Amino acid sequence: MSNAATIDIVSVSKVYGSTTAVESVSLKIPAGSYCCLLGPSGCGKTTTLRMIAGHERVSAGDIRLGSSVVTDLPPASRGTAMMFQSYALFPHLDVADNVAFSLKMKGVPKEERRARALEMLKLVQLEAYANRRPAQLSGGQQQRVALARALITNPEALLLDEPLSALDPFLKVRVRAELKKLQRSLGITFVHVTHSQEEAMALADLIVVMNDGRIEQAAPPRDIFERPATAFVARFMGDHNVISGKAAGYADGMLLLDVAGGGTFAGTGPAREHGSSADIAIRTDRVRIGEPVQPGLGFTGIVQNVEYRGSSVKLSVSGAGISDFTGILSDADFFANPVKIGDAVPLCWEAQDTIVLQPLDA
Amino acid sequence: MAVMIEDTTAAAPAASRGRSARLPRMAPYLQALPLTLILGLFLLLPIIMIAVVSFWDYDFAMMYPDFMTLNYEETLGSWVTWKTYLNTLKYAVLVWAITLFTGFWVAYFLAFYVRTTGMQMVLFLVCTVPFLTSNIIRMISWIPVLGRNGLVNSMLIEGGFISAPIEWLLYSDFAVVLAMVHLYTLFIVVPIFNTLMRIDRSLIEAARDAGASDWQILWNVIIPLAKPGMAIGTIFVVTLVMADFSTVQVMSGGQSASVALMMKNQMSLMQYPAAAANAVVLLAVVLLMVAGILRVVDIRKEL
């Protein structure tokens, strides 16, 4: 069944009346990869997925699946299958008929399609439920029926619209592991829309962070995490402090940044025009308590909040013109030298834990 | 969590302890009382009275309390009754088939083709406009349209399509069915529209994703899911047609009979016990039909 296809989106736009939902997005999803479209609600990720599926017309641009342009093809002849957010199982049909629906539409005889549906149900371990109605199944089981129904068409790419959002947190983690396993064993391209960073990090080979109808960054999870391209990505992924200010010099491969009414910070990255606004990101988990070894790699601030998280402690600190700076300390480090709310503490970090972010209009 | 549950259960009796303990226990019965009274006085009691009277004896002027089955024997033993029932059932089937077909497409159009809810409401209200006039007026207004020198005939004659007026337009089964369809289609549009509006639009997309054509979607997804609405509409139309006497009388010009018309005639001849026996039989027949419809389609989802 390994007939995965590369999905190539070429400057695709979607315009509803006067609002632009997706603005000339270009993206190449390699065959057989697990791609997550990640972003806040209204960022255009679902619209992008629906355009790949063919449930939404493309206003401009082209979509290629494998070697064929599918821009104007109906959903069923694209080689994609979609799994809907609420699963969209047919309430009047039993599980086997739901799975066999596309075969029935093709005119496959009843015996054969029931047999193939059962085979598919075996894959998702639901063959015992073949004669139940969707309403008699749990959320996780419904999700697997929807998966079986999508896969029975032998798609080259499976498109999943927030497939885990209706599940409880515990089940989410389990089903997500199953999805990844399934994708690896089928070898087909998965495109998965989600607003959960954790989900995307856990699943994806390629994370596409979207905001306001545009792609902010498309990269493997490790790149997204370690080298966020923009302030939006750094903030959305949540593992970086973003410091905004004006470029004030360049020394030793570090950009110096003046924060309005506060200190000067250094970030690893390219030089910027003097006085232009710039952002640097600092890994929250690399922040330590202590005096900085080099100016610009630390500051002293007032502890605003201390949040105990078991293996780590989250400090919220303000000072040097930064209102909310987060440091995640390991519990050992924190309790070796505990601080209280209201204390003034020096924070520091290393040069390699900082990164200069691209300007917004890049 | 456990603490919260404990808190609320502890708080509930404390709150009600202040009030009279009798009132909350009586409240549900008080709430049910008005409807119980109305249904009891105006539905149950009359039906019981009809059932009782149907066993009474009568002559040309008086009714005599009695317990005899003669009224039923006469009703069920007469070929006129059987013919009238067959005729009424014929109307019911014809009107049902036509209203179901037209009603479904009107509801389908409203639910799936009209995009904005505002426009849906406007068009829906347009459907109800005829109901601003009385049934009788809407029925009678067909007469100048269908009559021998009516609108249709004079147009066809002046257009040179026919040389003599078409006789079967008015005072015929055609006229009866036409008027009934006109009167009752909305009763089937409303429940079907209601079920169609509840169909999750992603089901249609899922069907399209599975390669279904528009007709396949209609046949495999929309119609099966609209069945409860069709069943409710069918119950409305069938009961209305089975109980109709004015449309049959006016539009057939007295040439056709319906069960209700037969009863009306009996009542005008002071044969109340005979009419009552007839009514009990009709009630039984209609209830059987409704039971049959409910066996075929599960309407519980709609209620």
Give pLDDT tens digits for B148-203. 888 888 888 888 888 888 888 888 889 999 999 988 998 999 999 989 998 988 89
Q: Does B158 touch chain A (CB under 8 A)?
A: no
Closest residue, chain A, to B219 (C-alpha): A105
Q: Which residues in chain A have Cβ-Cβ distances shorter than 8 Å to B207?
A: 90, 101, 105
Q: Does A86 touch chain B (CB under 8 A)?
A: yes
Nearest-angstrom CA–CA distance, B232 and B298: 10
- A177 Cβ partners below 8 Å, 6+ apart? none
Least confident span in A23-32, A293-302, B46-55, B199-208: A293-302
Pick from A88, A104, A106: which is nearest to B206 by CB? A88
Closest residue, chain B, to A78 (C-alpha): B209
Confidence of residue B93 (pLDDT cuts 50, 70, 90): very high
Confidence of residue A360 (pLDDT cuts 50, 70, 90): low
Pick from A81, A84, A150: which is nearest to B205 by CB? A84
Q: Which residues in chain B have Cβ-Cβ distances shorter than 8 Å to A150?
A: 209
Q: How far is the alpha carbon of A150 from chain B, nearest alpha carbon, in Å?
A: 8
3-state SS assignment for residue B212: coil
Q: What pLDDT was estimated at residue B230?
A: 92
Closest residue, chain B, to A153 (C-alpha): B210
Q: Which residues in chain B have Cβ-Cβ distances shorter than 8 Å to A56?
A: none
Residue B235 maps to a domain = yes
Q: Does B220 touch chain A (CB under 8 A)?
A: yes
One-letter identity of residue B147: G
- A107 Cβ partners below 8 Å, 6+ apart? none
Q: Does A81 touch chain B (CB under 8 A)?
A: yes
Q: How many CA atoms lie within 13 A of B255 on its CB side?
A: 11
Q: Say if residue A51 is exposed, middle or buried (CB neighbours under 10 Å; 0-12, 13-18, 19+).
A: buried
Q: Does B225 touch chain A (CB under 8 A)?
A: yes
Report the phi/psi class of residue B39: left, alpha or beta, with left for phi > 0 and alpha for psi in -120 to 50.
Answer: alpha
Closest residue, chain A, to B203 (C-alpha): A88
Nearest-angstrom CA–CA distance, A10 and A276: 32
Q: How far is the alpha carbon of B292 from chain A, nearest alpha carbon, in Å?
A: 20
Q: How far is the alpha carbon of A76 from chain B, nearest alpha carbon, in Å?
A: 5
Q: What pLDDT was estimated at residue B59?
A: 82
Q: How far is the alpha carbon of A105 from chain B, nearest alpha carbon, in Å?
A: 5
Tokens describing residue B223? 């119609």
Q: How far is the alpha carbon of B302 from chain A, nearest alpha carbon, in Å?
A: 14
What is the percent of chain A where pLDDT is above 90? 6
Residue B48 maps to a domain = no
What is the percent of chain A where pLDDT is above 70? 99
Q: How many CA atoms lie within 13 A of A199 on its CB side?
A: 30
Q: Does B202 touch chain A (CB under 8 A)?
A: yes
CATH number reported for the structural domain that contains residue B165 in this entry:
1.10.3720.10
Closest residue, chain B, to A101 (C-alpha): B210
> Is the predicted pLDDT of residue A24 greater than 50, yes or no?
yes
3-state SS assignment for residue B55: coil
Q: Does A55 touch chain B (CB under 8 A)?
A: yes
- Are A160 and A176 within 8 A, CB to CB? no
- Residue A232: name the closest of A13, A14, A43, A27 by CA: A43
Confidence of residue B4 (pLDDT cuts 50, 70, 90): very low
Residue B35 maps to a domain = no
Residue B52 maps to a domain = no
Q: How far is the alpha carbon of A186 from chain B, nearest alpha carbon, in Å?
A: 19
Count of other CB atoms within 10 angstroms of residue A125: 12
Residue B34 maps to a domain = no
Picking from A101, A113, A142 by the largest number of B CB atoms within 10 A of its own CB, the best residue to mutate is: A101
Report the phi/psi class of residue A54: left, alpha or beta, with left for phi > 0 and alpha for psi in -120 to 50.
Answer: left
Asked if A153 and B225 come within 8 Å (Cβ–Cβ), the reply is: no
Picking from A55, A105, A143 by the largest number of B CB atoms within 10 A of its own CB, the best residue to mutate is: A105
Once rounded to an integer, what is the mean pLDDT over residues A254-260?
78
Confidence of residue B62 (pLDDT cuts 50, 70, 90): confident
- Are B152 and B144 within 8 A, CB to CB? no
Q: How far is the alpha carbon of A153 from chain B, nearest alpha carbon, in Å?
A: 8
Q: How far is the alpha carbon of B104 from chain A, nearest alpha carbon, in Å?
A: 19
- Are B58 and B273 within 8 A, CB to CB? yes
Residue B215 maps to a domain = yes
Helix B70-77 and helix B272-296: axis angle, to 10°? 60
Once rounded to an integer, what is the mean pLDDT over residues B221-250?
91
Asked if A90 and B212 come within 8 Å (Cβ–Cβ), the reply is: no
Residue B259 maps to a domain = yes
Greatest mean pLDDT range, A66-80, A337-351, B202-216: B202-216
- A184 Cβ partners below 8 Å, 6+ apart? none
Nearest-angstrom CA–CA distance, B13 and A361: 63
3-state SS assignment for residue B189: helix
Once rounded to an integer, what is the mean pLDDT over residues A290-309?
82
Q: How far is the alpha carbon of B290 from chain A, nearest alpha carbon, in Å?
A: 22
Asked if A91 and B212 come within 8 Å (Cβ–Cβ), the reply is: no
> Is the predicted pLDDT of residue A325 greater than 90, yes or no?
no
Q: Which residues in chain B have Cβ-Cβ distances shorter than 8 Å to A147?
A: none
- B184 Cβ partners below 8 Å, 6+ apart? B95, B99, B236, B237, B240, B241
Q: Could you write out the three-class secondary structure of chain A?
A: CCCCCCEEEEEEEEEECCEEEEEEEEEEECCCCEEEEECCCCCCHHHHHHHHHCCCCCCEEEEEECCEECCCCCHHHCCEEEECCCCCCCCCCCHHHHHCHHHHHHCCCHHHHHHHHHHHHHHCCCHHHCCCCHHHCCHHHHHHHHHHHHHCCCCCEEEEECCCCCCCHHHHHHHHHHHHHHHHHHCCEEEEEECCHHHHHHHCCEEEEEECCEEEEEECHHHHHHCCCEHHHHHHHCCEEEEEEEEEEEECCEEEEECCCCCEEEEECCCCCCCCEEEEEEEHHHCEECCCCCCCCEEEEEEEEEEECCCEEEEEEEECCEEEEEEEEEHHHHHHCCCCCCCEEEEECCHHHEEEEECCCC
Asked if B205 and A81 come within 8 Å (Cβ–Cβ), the reply is: no
Q: Does A88 touch chain B (CB under 8 A)?
A: yes
Apex CA B208: angle with CA B205 and CA B212, to 5°?
Answer: 145
pLDDT single digits (tens) A137-168: 888 889 889 989 988 888 888 999 988 888 88
Tokens describing residue B82? 């059987």
Q: Say if residue B127 is exposed, middle or buried (CB neighbours under 10 Å; 0-12, 13-18, 19+).
A: middle
Confidence of residue A16 (pLDDT cuts 50, 70, 90): confident
Picking from B199, B209, B220, B300 by the largest number of A CB atoms within 10 A of its own CB, the best residue to mutate is: B209
Count of other CB atoms within 10 angstroms of residue B23: 10
**Mean pLDDT of all residues belonging to chain B:** 85
Nearest-angstrom CA–CA distance, A11 and A26: 5
Asked if A82 and B211 come within 8 Å (Cβ–Cβ), the reply is: no
Closest residue, chain A, to B211 (C-alpha): A76
Asked if A55 and B224 come within 8 Å (Cβ–Cβ), the reply is: no
The domain total for chain B is: 1
Confidence of residue B134 (pLDDT cuts 50, 70, 90): confident
CA distances A30 to A13, A27, A35, B253, Å, are: 21, 10, 9, 77
> Is the predicted pLDDT of residue B17 greater than 70, yes or no?
no
- Are B144 and B151 within 8 A, CB to CB? yes
Q: What pLDDT was estimated at residue B6?
A: 44
Confidence of residue B10 (pLDDT cuts 50, 70, 90): very low
β-bridge mates for residue A63, sequence order: A9
Asked if B209 and A82 come within 8 Å (Cβ–Cβ), the reply is: yes
- Are A209 and A215 within 8 A, CB to CB? yes
Tokens describing residue A188? 């087909």
- What's phi and psi for B269, nearest 5 deg? -95, 15
Nearest-angstrom CA–CA distance, B50 and B68: 14
pLDDT single digits (tens) A161-198: 988 888 888 888 888 888 888 888 888 889 999 988 88
> Is the predicted pLDDT of residue A353 greater than 70, yes or no?
yes
Once rounded to an integer, what is the mean pLDDT over residues A93-106?
90
- Are A13 and A20 within 8 A, CB to CB? yes
- ipTM, 2 dp: 0.79
**Mean pLDDT of all residues belonging to chain A:** 85
Q: What pLDDT was estimated at residue B203?
A: 92
Please name the residue that has the structure tokens 């999943």.
A160
- Are B55 and B67 within 8 A, CB to CB? yes
- A139 Cβ partners below 8 Å, 6+ apart? A166, A167, A168, A171
Q: What pLDDT was estimated at residue B13?
A: 47
> Is the predicted pLDDT of residue A359 greater than 90, yes or no?
no
Tokens describing residue A356? 């200069």
State CA A132 to chain mean position distance. 34
Q: Does A75 touch chain B (CB under 8 A)?
A: yes
Q: What pLDDT was estimated at residue B188?
A: 92
Least confident span in A157-171, A174-188, A264-278, A339-353: A264-278
Greatest mean pLDDT range, A38-47, B64-73, B124-133, B276-285: B276-285
Tokens describing residue A247? 């470029």
Tokens describing residue B260? 């209700």
- Are B103 and B189 within 8 A, CB to CB? yes
Residue B8 maps to a domain = no
For the four alpha carbons of B193, B188, A134 and A54, in that order, the dihedral sign comes to: negative
Structural domain range at position B255: 80-302
pTM across the whole model: 0.79
pLDDT single digits (tens) A39-88: 888 888 888 888 888 888 888 888 888 888 888 888 888 888 899 888 89
Please indicate whether residue B256 or residue B300 has the higher confidence score (pLDDT).
B256
